[in-house]
Amino acid sequence: MYLRPGNVRRLMISVAAILLSMLSAVLAPAVQNAGSGSPAQRLTEQDLRAAFARAQQALAAQDYPAAEQRFKDFLKLDPNSAAAYTNLGVVYMRTGKSDEAIRALETAKKLDPSMVGVNLNLGLLYYRKQDFKDAVPYFERLVKAQPDSMQAHYLLGMSHFMLRDYRSAVIDLEPIRAQEQDDLDFLYMLGIAYQQVKRNDDSKQTFARLVSVGGDTPHLHLLLGKAYLDLYENPKAEAELKKAIADDPNLPFAHYDLGVLYRRLGQRDKAEEEFEKEMAISPTEPWAFEDTGTIRLDQNDVDRAIPLFQKALALNPKLTPSLAGLGRAYLRKGKTDLAISYLGRAVALQSDSANYHYQLGQAYLKKGLRAEAEKQFAEQHKLQAAEVEKQGDKIFGRLPPPAEPKQ
């Protein structure tokens, strides 16, 4: 399995620290961009500055309810203030309102595209929602604006790694390899990315460095276990993960990865036992809930599978396996409308999955919607044919185009 976001060191940066560089930029006059005929025109610049300062004072004092209200009141006076929207986004970030923070900061970005700090925070907000695809453009802008920023390259590389875009991850991470040569998580990601793009010598060197730097620690054994899991070296993966757990039974993700291994080996009872332990250790991570739900659904234990998929989706609404799992579960219970709803969401998020199109087609058939079902089955066959062709090209190579006839 790929590295989960919860145990990546760079994401442990406090929001407060991230925002320090940004807040200095929003101390600029808030009256710029006030629209013609707006209430701001009937107030003096001094009045606006005073209102903005009062809102900032509440933010600095960590009186977030007051700060939120004062910035909202200020925006009634000057609805085009990027600074006020930025600060309102800060309030929402600090109070855990991620969706509201994204809306406020995206509005600020539209009003003032030059605000580099907004890119960082929007990227982090999407990353923490595990919405890596939407995080990437903001980190790309950050790298472009600050090409020497190690943090920008690291965050962009992590996002591409989570999306399994290993070629892009190598491009992002290589420029900071020398500076990050003692960071275990960095070395793990780069080593796996090298392996996936067939740069085997670089991968071996990177993992050798990982072992050298890591020492005999639970974290090192966890990363080695993950690496062996990715490489399908199952006995080595099991040995390393068991070492990690023996040294630290509460190490996040160790039980999860061991559960993944047991599930791969068909040892479902042992897998479910490890996932149960992971749920207790990491109750805010959706993965163990999702995998346990899948195991129970495979055993036709539908009523016990549904709450687990629901829990996973409450933690991350865009988990396509949980959406599809919930759709399959409702289909088995005869609730076709709910099945179509969840499977439709899975297809919308991952339209290249032949299996999701097939499942949605089955739901439409059960509903009596044959035309819609046939569309899904046609897309399923199209995707399967493309995958067969792709695998054939990997094994035999692609034939050159036919030669043009001589004149």
Structural domains in the chain, sorted by start: 1-130 (1.25.40.10), 144-214 (1.25.40.10)
Residue 122: is its pLDDT beyond 80?
A: yes
Classify 332 as helix, strand or coil: helix
Mean pLDDT of 201-220: 90
Percent of the chain with pLDDT over 90: 66
Separation of alpha carbons 329 and 343, rounded Å? 10
Statement: the pTM of the whole predicted model exceeds 0.75: no
The owner of tokens 């996040």 is: 252
Q: How would residue 168 be classed by pLDDT, with cut points 50, 70 and 90?
A: very high
- Res 33: pLDDT: 42
Higher pLDDT, 392 or 79: 79
Is it the case that residue 12 has pLDDT exceeding 70? no
For residue 364, the model assigns a pLDDT of 96
User: From CA 184, how far away is CA 180, in angstroms rounded?
Assistant: 9
pLDDT band at 218 (very low <50, low <70, confident <90, very high): very high
Listed range (9-18, 117-126, 270-279) with the worst mean pLDDT = 9-18
Among 63-67, 230-234, 365-369, which is the least confidently predicted range?
Answer: 230-234
Residues in the chain: 407
| Cα(229)–Cα(227) distance, integer angstroms | 5
Contacts of 177 (CB under 8 A, 6+ apart): 190
| Residue 233 confidence (pLDDT) above 50 | yes
Residue type at 47 in one-letter notation: D
Asked whether the predicted pLDDT for residue 42 surpasses 60, the reply is no
Give the residue with greater pLDDT, 13 vs 104: 104
